[in-house]
Amino acid sequence: MEFCDECGSMMHTEGSEWECSSCGATKPRDSAEEAAMTTTQGQDMDSGPVDMSEVDDEEIGPTTKVRCPECGHDRARYEMKQIRAADESETRFFTCTDCDHKWREDDH
């Protein structure tokens, strides 16, 4: 990937030159420099599902004492994610260690 020295836009290749589609600036291509560039072309972007069948529960993530609304068990794995605006608290996602029921808690 090459960026325009004039306007900072991303350039594309046009024969033996890089060309900016925003301002029209051009510069010669350097094959040695291009060989060092990393490309996503041909890379496997989705490796599919991960097999967790042989992973111990303790290795999956932290647990906490919380009551499962489905079975009443008192332990669950948890993770926290920021899914709302940055000035709001994170959402807590739980998975019961007994029945694998999933639920979430938000601060209101």
Binding-site residue ranges: 4, 7, 20, 23, 68, 71, 96, 99
Q: Is 102 helix (H, G, I), strand (E, B) or coil?
A: strand
Q: Answer yes or no: are the C-beta atoms of 99 and 68 closer than 8 Å.
A: yes
**Feature table: binding site for Zn(2+):** 4, 7, 20, 23, 68, 71, 96, 99
Q: Answer yes or no: are the C-beta atoms of 25 and 7 closer than 8 Å.
A: yes
Q: Answer yes or no: are the C-beta atoms of 58 and 71 closer than 8 Å.
A: no
d(CA 101, CA 30): 56
